[in-house]
Amino acid sequence: MSIEIDFRHSLGNATFEVAFNVQRPGITVLFGPSGSGKTTTVNVLAGLLKPRQGRIVLGERIVLDTTRGIFVKPRKRNIGYVFQDARLFPHMTVHENLRFGWKRSGRQADANAFTRIVKLLDIQEVLDRRPSRLSGGERSRVALGRALLCSPVLLLLDEPLAALDMARRAEILPYLERLHVEARLPIIYVTHSLDELSRLADQIVLLNAGRVTRQAAAAELLSDLAFSDLTGISPYGAVIETRIAEQRTADGLTLLAFEGGGLLVPAVDGPIGAILRVRARAEDVLLAREAPLHISANNVLPARVTGIRLGAASQADVQLSCGSARLIARITQASLGRLGIADGQQLFAIVKSVRIDLRGENTQPIVPGCNGIPE
Amino acid sequence: MSTLPAGWVLTPVEYDALLLSLRIAMAGVLSMMPFALLAAVPLARRRFVGKSFVEGLLLLPLVLPPVVVGYLLLITFGTHEPLGAWLLQHFDLQFAFSWKGAALASGLTTFPLQLRAIRLSLEGVDLRLVEAAETLGAGPLDKFFAITLPLAIPGIISGAITAFAAALGEFGAIITFVSNIPGETQTLPLAIYSALQQPGGEHEAARLATLSALLALAGVMLAQVVDRRIRDRLSS
């Protein structure tokens, strides 16, 4: 389902002029500093905020068009919203919270969906508890389940991890990845964490001061030297979509292939052909003029320099392309000069370590009716 | 009971006055509760022209001399007044000189207490939860009954108990509206008044006054306990 949004609104002194569209399912991350309009945008999408001017189309359905006086109420939009502060109903048990949207979704919901979602989010044990007796992580998961169970056509997640400490975040992220894989519905995810961005985003919409400064695929933007100009944050490095090509069980390694290259990583479970996202931070990529012969790193990739950007504090980002993949190596300006690195040059990129995230297609959607078109 | 000293046992007259007081206060508070709820919702959640006037009007029974409230009831619900006659004819409902009138009088004078408690607890309900309910498909009435009302219940109940304790003490409005009829409208305060009117009734008045004080104290304490209990259960 495609999503188109275009609105203008002012709140106090701030004005928002936001327009972007989502053509494919997957996670679209709204990324930007506080006050850039991320939450305003999801509130407009959900219908909790009626903008002065605007138009929103979800698939075939126009839910907002101020020129034609169309404003569909939040409860009729079929959008699941996971709030930053979970907002579980304190007077209901987890079970009752989960059933709240499910009962009201007005669809012939598949009875197994409840069990599937409860299982996906690992909340079987806490169904009879009240929200006050849940941990922060459990609360986030229940909020996620509650939103999923109302059979949304679109899921909005407004900094669902912001209220959690680092350990709890690490606990939730795998669920979000599973959700991405299994839910098969478009997700709009608000965050200002580069880690969540690099881990979860398929597409990125950059917001700054109420405007969209850039919309691009995650793999493209996270390895774009212009990222730091747009956000004030150094680009992450590389995000590469790979498939499992070979299991080298004897060495305990897995070969992940992408167009024009491959990476050897510690064994990853999964069938040949399974899609995995591999991330490499710019700090974890080294450069060499000649192919190093005796080196402990497993991954030495021939690569061509496609851009150089001098950063603050004596560092430099070197953008490289290797087949279909794009990498960034963060080195010192001294090394840059010593190696005489120039645009277009052929080099070797040594990838010290990578992070691997679950991706890929699953056979069954977990959300009842999520592929349907709303009435 | 026989083991208690004779002075500790209530006489049948005192016992009747106690039961009657409880019944009248209970009926008064409960019958006013729906009206208090209806009035509290717009006061808590909406802005409208003349809001402070409406609010003032609804809180008036709190500051009006009870005698005035009784008088107003008398000229509205008396059997010879249009409304009173109509109610009697069509619903067989008579307030004048009946315990129902006493209930109405005590319910009305304590109406502002209920209204304030309900209004405050409705205002205390987190609107973000109501918003969440809306994104989950709940309409206006649904949101109110599924989210707002249950979350406001602690305040509503403790407000009702406070109003009940206050209604037990209503004197002026009752005696003006429905007179002082033993077994029908003679609540504890009216019984105390009657006792004081009789020569040598001081002892009886003191007994009844002690009973009243204990009852009021129990009511206020109960309101606090209930409020805390329910709040604990709901806290997140």
Q: What pLDDT sits at residue B167?
A: 93
Quote the minimal CA–CA distance from B146 to chain A in Å: 9
Residue A8 DSSP SS3 = strand
Whether residues A90 and B132 touch (CB distance < 8 A) is answered with: no
- Whether A9 and A88 map to the same domain: the answer is yes
A100 lies within 8 A of chain B by CB: yes
- Whether A201 and A260 map to the same domain: the answer is no
Q: Alpha carbon of B203 to those of A125, A246, B199, B208, B209: distances in Å?
A: 64, 101, 10, 9, 10
A89 lies within 8 A of chain B by CB: yes
The answer to whether residue A172 is domain-embedded is yes
Q: Which of B83, B72, B94, B89 is nearest to B177 (CA)?
A: B72
- Residues of chain A in contact with residue B150, where contact means CB-CB under 8 angstroms, are 91
Q: What pLDDT sits at residue A357?
A: 73
Whether residues B132 and A79 touch (CB distance < 8 A) is answered with: no
- Residues of chain B in contact with residue A104, where contact means CB-CB under 8 angstroms, are 136-138, 142
Distance, in Å, from the CA atom of A176 to the CA atom of A142, rounded to the nearest integer, reads 12
Q: What pLDDT sits at residue B93?
A: 84
- Whether A277 and A182 map to the same domain: the answer is no
Residue A369 — very low, low, confident or very high, per pLDDT cuts 50/70/90?
very low
The pLDDT tens digits of the residues spanning A231-240 come to 888 888 888 9
- Whether A134 and A209 map to the same domain: the answer is yes
Q: What pLDDT sits at residue B235?
A: 60
Q: What part of A 312-371 touches B (C-beta under 8 Å)?
A: none
Whether residues A91 and B150 touch (CB distance < 8 A) is answered with: yes
Whether the per-residue pLDDT at A320 is higher than 50: the answer is: yes
The answer to whether residue A363 is domain-embedded is no
Q: What is the mean pLDDT of residues A53-58?
A: 94
- Whether A185 and A288 map to the same domain: the answer is no
Residue position matching structure tokens 């009729």: A76
Closest chain B residue to A106 measured between Cα atoms?
B137
- Whether A195 and A153 map to the same domain: the answer is yes
The pLDDT tens digits of the residues spanning A158-168 come to 998 877 777 77
Q: What pLDDT sits at residue A57?
A: 95
Q: What pLDDT sits at residue A100?
A: 93
DSSP one-letter code for A126: G
Closest chain B residue to A83 measured between Cα atoms?
B132
Q: Judging by DSSP bridges, how do beta strands A79-82 and A237-248 pair with one another?
A: unpaired
- Residues of chain A in contact with residue B234, where contact means CB-CB under 8 angstroms, are 90-91, 132
- Whether A271 and A178 map to the same domain: the answer is no
Q: Which of A163, A325, A307 is nearest to A257 (CA)?
A: A325
Q: Specify the higher pLDDT residue, B233 or A359.
A: B233
Which residues on chain B place their C-beta less than 8 Å from a C-beta of chain A? 128-129, 131-139, 142, 146-147, 150-151, 233-236
CATH of the domain at A299: 2.40.50.100
Closest chain B residue to A90 measured between Cα atoms?
B234
Residue from B136, B148, B232, B236 to probe the interface with A (highest A Cβ count within 10 Å)? B136
- Residues of chain A in contact with residue B128, where contact means CB-CB under 8 angstroms, are 83, 85, 87
Quote the minimal CA–CA distance from B130 to chain A in Å: 9
Domain boundary among A221, A247, A272: A221
CATH of the domain at A190: 3.40.50.300
Q: Specify the higher pLDDT residue, A321 or A365.
A: A321
Whether the per-residue pLDDT at A183 is higher than 80: the answer is: no
Number of domains in chain A: 2
- Whether A216 and A332 map to the same domain: the answer is no
Whether the per-residue pLDDT at A109 is higher than 60: the answer is: no
A135 lies within 8 A of chain B by CB: no
Q: What is the mean pLDDT of residues A270-275?
A: 86
Decide: A152 and A79 in contact? Cβ < 8 Å: yes
The pLDDT tens digits of the residues spanning A188-220 come to 999 988 888 988 888 999 999 999 999 999 888
Residue type, A123: I
The answer to whether residue A230 is domain-embedded is no
A83 lies within 8 A of chain B by CB: yes
- Whether A161 and A250 map to the same domain: the answer is no
Q: Which of B142, B95, B111, B122 is nearest to B31 (CA)?
A: B111
Q: Provide the residue range defining the domain that includes A32.
A: 3-221
Phi-psi category of A26—alpha, beta or left, where left has phi over 0 and alpha has psi -120 to 50?
Answer: left
Residue from the list A91, A101, A130 with its beta carbon closest to the beta carbon of B137: A101
Q: Specify the higher pLDDT residue, A1 or A66.
A: A66
- Residues of chain A in contact with residue B132, where contact means CB-CB under 8 angstroms, are 81, 83, 87, 89
Q: Which of B204, B186, B114 is nearest to B152 (CA)?
A: B114
Whether residues B135 and A146 touch (CB distance < 8 A) is answered with: no
Domain boundary among A221, A246, A264: A221
Q: Alpha carbon of A233 to those of A29, A184, A197, A219, B37: distances in Å?
A: 16, 30, 12, 16, 53
Q: What pLDDT sits at residue A232?
A: 81
ipTM over 0.85: no
The answer to whether residue A369 is domain-embedded is no
Whether residues A104 and B147 touch (CB distance < 8 A) is answered with: no
Residue from A44, A73, A87, A93 to probe the interface with B (highest B Cβ count within 10 Å)? A87
Residue from the list A48, A132, A150 with its beta carbon closest to the beta carbon of B236: A132
- Whether A172 and A244 map to the same domain: the answer is no
Whether residues B129 and A105 touch (CB distance < 8 A) is answered with: no
The answer to whether residue A161 is domain-embedded is yes
Alpha helices in chain A (DSSP H): 38-46, 94-104, 111-120, 136-148, 166-183, 194-200, 218-221, 227-231, 333-339
The answer to whether residue A366 is domain-embedded is no
pLDDT over 90 percentage in chain B: 56
Distance, in Å, from the CA atom of A189 to the CA atom of A204, rounded to the nearest integer, reads 9
Question: A250 CB contacts (<8 Å, ≥6 apart)?
Answer: none
- Whether A184 and A281 map to the same domain: the answer is no
Q: Which of A331, A66, A354, A1 is nearest to A198 (CA)?
A: A354
Q: Beta-carbon neighbour count of residue A11 at 10 Å?
A: 13
Q: What is the mean pLDDT of residues A281-303?
A: 90
What residue segments make up the domains of chain B, in order of their start? Answer: 12-47+65-234
Task: Provide the residue-wise pLDDT of chain B in tens; the chain has 236 residues.
Answer: 456 666 778 888 888 889 999 999 999 999 999 999 999 999 988 888 888 899 899 999 988 999 999 999 999 988 788 888 888 888 888 888 899 999 999 999 999 999 999 999 999 999 999 999 999 999 999 999 999 999 998 889 888 998 999 999 999 999 999 989 888 999 999 999 999 998 988 899 999 999 999 988 988 888 888 878 877 766 64
Q: What pLDDT sits at residue A48?
A: 94
Whether residues B135 and A80 touch (CB distance < 8 A) is answered with: yes
The answer to whether residue A228 is domain-embedded is no
Inter-chain Cβ pairs, chain A and chain B, closer than 8 A: 65
Quickly list DSSP for chain B.
-TTS-GGGSPPHHHHHHHHHHHHHHHHHHHHHHHHHHHHHHHHHH---TTHHHHHHHHHHHHHS-HHHHHHHHHHHHSTTSHHHHHHHHHH----TTSHHHHHHHHHHHTHHHHHHHHHHHHHTS-HHHHHHHHHTT--HHHHIIIIIHHHHHHHHHHHHHHHHHHHTT--HHHHHHH---TTTT--HHHHHHHHHHSTT-HHHHHHHHHHHHHHHHHHHHHHHHHHHHHHHHH--
Residue A327 DSSP SS3 = strand
Asked: is B12-47+65-234 a CATH 1.10.3720.10 domain? The reply is: yes
Domain boundary among A195, A221, A247: A221
Min mean pLDDT across A246-250, A359-363, B121-125 is at A359-363
- Whether A216 and A292 map to the same domain: the answer is no
A79 lies within 8 A of chain B by CB: yes
Residue A338 — very low, low, confident or very high, per pLDDT cuts 50/70/90?
very high
DSSP one-letter code for A105: T
The answer to whether residue A370 is domain-embedded is no
- Residues of chain B in contact with residue A79, where contact means CB-CB under 8 angstroms, are 135
Distance, in Å, from the CA atom of B236 to the CA atom of B132, rounded to the nearest integer, reads 16
Q: What is the mean pLDDT of residues A11-38?
A: 90
Whether residues A147 and B136 touch (CB distance < 8 A) is answered with: yes
